[in-house]
């Protein structure tokens, strides 16, 4: 017999005339299988008909006798595979005469991917047997079959009605078919898996197991090696039951599934109403039955994110005693090591896929945390690049990002809800920036509007800002400059997006910025009026024009000097007049003036003040003098630091600035938004500082205790907890404590070795050095706590990283004293396996931050006299320390007016302050002021002291 060999891409194809092949006897053998003669004849006839049109004499023998073609032909011929192939045909067929041979071959290779039937078992039964919640079998299966965050469900109930139990999903069985999964592993070709969960469904009426066709106990039923259920549908979630038509309907394969291996689940968390020792007894009994099947078994520890150290150690001990049973620590909620558990079982089933490489839980957690952080950074970069307008909607933006790998990756890892939350935060920042730009445009237009609508000083000189607003509304051209919006505030209306309409929203006039601009406009009009009323420059020039120096300067320079001199005289006269009004503080309280005093009361004030020289100094500026009187009356009627005549140099502002600069954590009331961000008590921003993964691991532990929306329950109240783990150089922007979206309320420093403690010390010192003299210097006073933590698996503090715990604790306490931060007692052994701290320590840190932000046990308020009026109305005051200057009469008179409103039962301490000891003892005026203070203290049955305020800021008591 003559053979024709043909070389093609380095492989040999055997090509023969079909009539020669018919002469072959017995059977033929290819490289893959032995073909019986009867099957060979069938294949040759098929090949002859398919190749007759293109090549009547030759055809490819190697392609003809491929294993897949042989298997299909055998099925058509009614032959069985003597070799007992374990994989099932997927039912797909190839049209005869198809010439796209490469595609056919690829499809045939896919069909050859092996299928493994994997069974998930564990403690099941009634609430009495398994507690209030299951051991996590359903979540474990859900995370593996559908790993995307959006497809993961935490709630899977086993208590069903009779109708749900009889539906096509459960199908009157006590097991769930989770579907078919395909995976490509590093070693070996792609494989497919059928995932089945063995459970026990409870009747919602009798709370006993449902009656089914297989009435065996759970342990015997779970150890079965064959499963079948006609027309059973793939399970998705509890909501699917009764609504099967709303979900994809994929049936469980017909016939009996041959079980290839078991995943034995053990819940290592502190389950409610469930004793772990009882669970371990159940698992031991269950293992005894499934081990008799001689099928591979993997012990899966579920809920390790909430794991208890003793439980996990006992589970590892159990695995060691059972012929070194592989143990995989997992968390379905955090998606840690779920794939690894199934891969380990597949490798035990198919030895050709390599040996199992089990990764410890916290090592896998660290890797996944880094992956999520990296994916979040890429997703935020994508949002910043795509979303430039605050009016963008999530629906449109998500459609635009739908094909972006950054979006897909973060959705897969964290879910659509968290993607949407980050988008909303970005849009909110864009909107705030847009509002601020529009506000600046409106405020820059307001001076022009005021100059156009109220150019006359007489019209507005005697009016308050609220009265001026009414005057503006009455003007004919008001609508040209302003727009009245139906909805308010203006930031929430569509007007901010109407770039063509630059009219000012009318409610913007209610802001302090608008009032400041009005005051500037009013001052400008008064200056203009003053220039018109003053002695003209020509008259003043006549006194100096004959002097020799007159020729040294230009005319314009003399005029400028003259105007500045006149302004200084007027400003000094105003300050003196304002001091005069303060010295007569009791007069205004006795007259009980209101915001609009009558002519009679105004006349009484002028009569009392008329003989004073400081009153007469402004007789050529009566309008401005009356305006100062009205402003002071308004201040008396509504005393605040904004209405204070000295504003913005009011003492309250200066006190707040001083306290915030020196004690930012104790007095965070000044410019809170600019310095400390959001001060709502229901939000906590915490920096976690640690080295070599400590910060990220600790942050993940806290997040595991939070709800899905990062809300933390503390003392029965919900707090939005935002964490920022930092593990690198704090001087780099990427490791900055403060970001545009994160302003810390506190810092928790973690260490477990001498090196990690040195990192904490160095980082805090760098932070404080870098913030000296800057606006964010309050970071140097950030509330800080120091905590010694153990490494994973360390059960006690006897030794950590080669150093004794006692030595590390001593070093930590010394560091805490030096850095002026609190030192937390280390967690007791056995509280939580693999956990750095326990929940009580987290609560201790958070309570400390909340106490600093809203301490109510004892509070000392430093206020001006006028600010205390508001304080008395809103808070309970237990006493006053009233301070006055011995060199200023207005200080003592304001104190007297203040005491008129203080109840007799409230204790008062009077404190006279002098700049030096000599002033207190040698100055006649100061001595007189002290005598008046002593008499006043005796009159109100209070106490009196005088103190010296030295250059170092120390006070010394002089008189007891």
Comparing 228-232, 290-294, 587-591, 883-887, which segment has the lowest mean pLDDT?
587-591
Going by C-beta distance under 8 Å and a sequence separation of 6 or more, which residues neighbour residue 889?
583, 929
Closest CA to 671 of 680, 663, 682, 660: 660
Report, as an integer, the average pLDDT of 181-209: 85
Residue found by looking up tokens 């709502």 in the block: 680
pLDDT of 22 strictly over 90: no
pLDDT digits (tens, 9 = 90+) for 595-631: 567 777 778 888 888 888 888 888 878 888 888 888 8
pLDDT in tens, 364-389: 998 998 999 999 999 999 999 999 99
Note the pLDDT of residue 876.
Answer: 67
Within 8 A by CB and 6+ apart from 785, the residues are 746, 747, 748, 749, 821, 822, 823, 824, 845, 848
Strands 257-258 and 226-227: what pairing? Answer: antiparallel
Share of the chain above pLDDT 90, in %: 22
What one-character DSSP code corresponds to residue 260?
-
3-state secondary structure of 829: coil
Helical ranges in 854-914 per DSSP H = 865-874, 889-899
**Mean pLDDT computed over 411-429:** 92
Q: Which pLDDT score is estimated for 105?
A: 44
266-to-139, 153, 282, 289, 337 alpha-carbon distances in Å: 13, 20, 10, 16, 14
- DSSP for 66-104, please give it: -HHHHHHHHHHHT---TT---SPP------TT---HHHH
pLDDT in tens, 213-238: 667 788 898 898 898 888 889 999 98
Statement: residue 70 has pLDDT above 80: no
DSSP string for 704-757: HHS-TTSEEEETTEEEEEEEEEE-S-TTSGGG-S-BTTB--SEEEEEESSHHHH
Amino acid 445: pLDDT: 92
**Alpha helix stretches (DSSP H) within 647-735:** 651-662, 672-676, 694-705
Contact 116, 346 (CB under 8 A): yes
Instruction: Give the number of C-alpha atoms closer than 13 A to the C-alpha of residue 346, restricted to the C-beta side.
Output: 25
pLDDT of residue 141: 95
Question: How far is Cα 783 from Cα 764, in angstroms, rounded to an integer?
Answer: 12
Paired residues of 909 in beta bridges = 881, 943
What's the CATH superfamily of 682-854? P-loop containing nucleotide triphosphate hydrolases (3.40.50.300)
Distances 544 to 535, 536, 570 between C-alpha atoms, Å: 15, 14, 22
288 versus 535: the higher-pLDDT residue is: 288
Q: Does residue 157 contact residue 209 with C-beta atoms inside 8 Å?
A: no
CB-based contact 169:233 (threshold 8 Å): yes
- Mean of pLDDT values over 795-822: 72
Which residues lie closer than 8 Å to 285 by C-beta, 6 or more apart?
219
Q: What's the pLDDT score for residue 609?
A: 84
Taking the C-alpha atoms of residue 696 and residue 700, their distance in angstroms, rounded to an integer, is: 6
Q: Stretch 59-86: mean pLDDT, rounded? A: 39
Instruction: Choose the weakest-confidence range: 88-102, 222-236, 328-342.
Output: 88-102
Asked whether the domain spanning 682-854 has the same topology as the one spanning 115-359, the reply is yes
Beta strand segments in 632-745, E: 683-689, 711-714, 717-726
Region for 692 from its dihedrals, namely left if φ exceeds 0, alpha if ψ lies in -120 to 50, beta otherwise: left
**More confident site: 434 or 773:** 434
Weakest-pLDDT range from 72-76, 331-335, 452-456 = 72-76
pLDDT at residue 39, as a whole number: 45
Note the pLDDT tens digit of each residue in 920-953.
Answer: 888 888 898 889 888 988 888 888 888 887 543 3
Per-residue confidence (pLDDT) for residue 198, from 0 to 100 = 92
Asked whether 280 and 268 are in contact (CB, 8 A), the reply is no
According to the model, what pLDDT value does residue 353 have? 81
Q: What are phi and psi of 780, to 5 degrees?
A: -65, -25
Between vectors from CA 121 to CA 116 and to CA 127, what angle results, nearest 5°?
A: 155
CATH 3.30.465.10 fits 115-359, yes or no: no
HSE at residue 575, side-chain half, CA atoms within 13 A, is 9
Q: Are 386 and 397 within 8 A, CB to CB?
A: yes
Q: What is the pTM of this model?
A: 0.52
* pLDDT of res. 794: 39
Confidence of residue 302 (pLDDT cuts 50, 70, 90): very high
Q: Return the domain boundaries, the chain.
A: 115-359, 431-530, 554-644, 682-854, 864-958
What mean pLDDT value characterizes the chain? 77
Among residues 235, 232, 225, 284, the alpha carbon closest in space to that of 259 is found at: 225
**Residues in contact with 264: Cβ distance below 8 Å, sequence separation at least 6, in sequence order:** 121, 122, 283, 286, 287, 290, 297, 298, 299, 300
SS3 content of the chain, % helix, strand, coil (to 5): 50, 15, 35
Question: Within a 10 A sphere around the Cβ of 146, how many other Cβ atoms?
Answer: 17
Q: What is the pLDDT of residue 145?
A: 93
Location of structure tokens 């011929």: 77
Residue 777: beta bridge partners?
none
Band (pLDDT 50/70/90 cuts) for residue 206 is confident
Q: What's the rounded Cα separation, in Å, for the pair 163 and 181?
A: 29
Least reliable range by pLDDT among 269-283, 533-547, 831-845: 831-845
Mean pLDDT for 248-252 is: 88
Distance, in Å, from the CA atom of 69 to the CA atom of 73, rounded to the nearest integer, reads 6
Q: Tokens for 540?
A: 């003043």
**CB atoms < 10 A from the CB of 677, how many?**
17
Distance CA 663, CA 652 (A): 16
How far apart are the C-alpha atoms of 167 and 239, rounded to whole Å? 13
Q: Is 403 helix (H, G, I), strand (E, B) or coil?
A: coil
The two beta strands, 717-726 and 504-505, are unpaired
Q: Of 471, 506, 455, 456, give the one whose Cα is nearest residue 485.
A: 506
The answer to whether residues 469 and 517 touch, using CB atoms and an 8 Å cutoff, is no
pLDDT at 869 over 60: yes
Q: Name the more confident of 325 and 669.
A: 325
Query: How many angstroms separate the CA atoms of 19 and 15, rounded?
Result: 12
């Amino acid at each position: 017999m003559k053979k024709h060999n043909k070389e093609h891409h380095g492989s040999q194809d055997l090509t023969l005339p079909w009539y020669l092949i018919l002469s072959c006897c017995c059977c033929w053998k290819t490289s893959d299988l032995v073909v019986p003669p009867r099957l060979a004849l069938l294949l040759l006839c098929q090949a002859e008909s398919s190749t007759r049109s293109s090549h009547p004499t030759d055809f490819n023998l190697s392609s003809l006798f491929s294993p897949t073609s042989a298997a299909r032909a055998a099925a058509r011929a009614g032959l069985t595979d003597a070799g007992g192939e374990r994989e099932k045909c997927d039912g797909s067929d190839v049209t005869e005469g198809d010439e796209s041979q490469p595609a056919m071959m690829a499809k045939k290779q896919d069909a050859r991917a092996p299928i493994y039937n994997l069974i998930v078992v564990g403690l099941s039964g009634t609430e009495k047997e398994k507690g209030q919640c299951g051991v996590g079998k359903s979540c474990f299966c859900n995370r593996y079959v559908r790993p995307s965050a959006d497809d993961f469900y935490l709630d899977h109930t086993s208590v069903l009605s009779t109708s749900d139990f009889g539906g096509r999903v459960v199908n009157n069985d006590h097991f769930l078919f989770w579907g078919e999964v395909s995976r490509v592993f590093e070693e070996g070709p792609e494989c497919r898996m059928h995932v089945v969960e063995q459970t026990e469904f409870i009747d919602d009426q009798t709370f006993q197991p449902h009656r089914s066709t297989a009435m065996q106990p759970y342990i015997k039923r779970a150890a079965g090696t064959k499963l079948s259920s006609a027309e059973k549908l793939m399970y998705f979630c509890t909501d699917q039951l009764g609504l099967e038509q709303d979900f994809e309907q994929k049936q469980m394969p017909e016939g009996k599934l041959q079980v290839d291996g078991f995943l034995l689940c053990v819940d290592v968390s502190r389950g409610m109403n469930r004793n772990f020792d009882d669970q371990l007894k159940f698992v031991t009994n269950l293992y005894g039955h499934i081990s008799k099947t001689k099928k591979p078994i993997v012990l899966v520890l579920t809920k390790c994110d909430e794991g208890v150290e003793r439980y996990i150690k006992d589970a590892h001990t159990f695995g060691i005693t059972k012929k070194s049973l592989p143990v995989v620590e997992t968390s379905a909620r955090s998606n840690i090591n779920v794939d690894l558990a199934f891969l380990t079982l597949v490798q035990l089933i198919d030895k050709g896929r390599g040996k199992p490489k089990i990764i410890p839980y916290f090592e896998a957690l660290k890797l996944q945390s880094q992956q999520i952080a990296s994916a979040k950074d890429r997703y935020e970069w994508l949002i910043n690049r795509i979303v430039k307008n605050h009016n963008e909607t999530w629906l449109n933006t998500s459609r635009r990002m739908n094909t972006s790998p950054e979006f897909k990756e973060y959705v897969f890892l964290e879910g659509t809800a968290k993607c949407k939350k980050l988008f909303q935060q970005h849009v909110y920042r864009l909107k705030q920036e847009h509002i601020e730009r529009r506000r600046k445009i409106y405020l820059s237009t307001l001076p022009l509007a005021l100059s156009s609508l109220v150019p006359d000083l007489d019209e507005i000189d005697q009016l308050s800002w609220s009265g001026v607003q009414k005057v503006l509304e009455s003007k004919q051209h008001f609508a040209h400059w302003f727009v009245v919006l139906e909805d308010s505030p203006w930031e929430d209306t569509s007007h901010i997006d109407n770039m063509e309409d630059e009219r000012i929203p009318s409610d913007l006039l209610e802001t302090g910025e608008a009032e400041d601009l009005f005051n500037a406009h009013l001052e400008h009009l008064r200056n203009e009026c003053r220039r018109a009323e003053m002695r003209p420059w020509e008259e003043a020039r006549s006194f100096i024009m004959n002097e020799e120096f007159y020729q040294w300067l230009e005319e314009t320079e003399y005029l400028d000097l003259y105007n500045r001199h006149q302004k200084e005289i007027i400003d000094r006269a105003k300050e003196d007049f304002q001091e005069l009004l303060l010295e007569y503080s009791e007069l205004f309280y006795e007259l009980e003036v209101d915001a609009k005093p009558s002519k009679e009361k105004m006349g009484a004030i002028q009569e009392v003040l008329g003989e004073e020289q400081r009153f007469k100094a402004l007789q050529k500026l009566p309008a401005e003098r009356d305006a100062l009187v009205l402003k002071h009356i308004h201040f008396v009627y509504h005393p605040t630091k904004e209405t204070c005549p000295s504003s913005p140099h009011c003492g309250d502002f200066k006190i707040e600035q001083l306290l915030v600069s020196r004690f930012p954590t104790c007095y965070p009331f000044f410019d809170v938004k600019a310095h400390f961000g959001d001060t709502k008590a229901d939000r906590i921003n915490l920096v976690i500082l640690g080295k070599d993964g400590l910060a990220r691991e600790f942050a993940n532990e806290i997040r595991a205790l939070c709800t899905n929306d990062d809300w933390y329950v503390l003392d029965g109240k919900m707090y939005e907890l935002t964490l920022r783990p930092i593990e690198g150089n704090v001087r780099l922007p990427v490791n900055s404590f403060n970001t545009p979206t994160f302003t810390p309320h506190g810092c928790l420093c973690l260490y477990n070795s001498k090196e990690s403690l040195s990192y904490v010390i160095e980082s805090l010192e760098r932070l404080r050095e870098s913030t000296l003299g800057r606006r964010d210097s309050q970071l140097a006073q950030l509330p800080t706590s120091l905590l010694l933590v153990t490494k994973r698996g360390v059960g006690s503090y006897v030794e950590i990283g080669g150093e004794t715990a006692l030595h590390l604790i001593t070093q930590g306490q010394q560091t805490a004293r030096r850095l002026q931060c609190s030192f937390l007692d280390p967690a007791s052994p056995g509280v939580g396996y693999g956990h750095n701290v326990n929940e009580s320590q987290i609560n201790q840190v958070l309570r400390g931050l909340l106490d600093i932000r809203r301490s109510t046990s004892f509070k000392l308020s430093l206020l001006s006299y006028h600010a205390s009026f508001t304080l008395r109305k809103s808070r309970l005051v237990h006493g006053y320390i009233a301070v006055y200057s011995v060199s200023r009469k207005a200080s003592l008179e304001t104190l007297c007016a203040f005491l008129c409103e203080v109840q007799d039962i409230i204790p008062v301490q009077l404190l006279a302050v002098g700049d030096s000891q000599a002033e207190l003892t040698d100055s006649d005026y100061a001595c007189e002021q002290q005598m008046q203070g002593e008499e006043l203290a005796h009159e109100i049955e209070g106490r009196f002291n005088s103190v010296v305020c030295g250059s170092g800021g120390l006070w010394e008591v002089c008189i007891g």
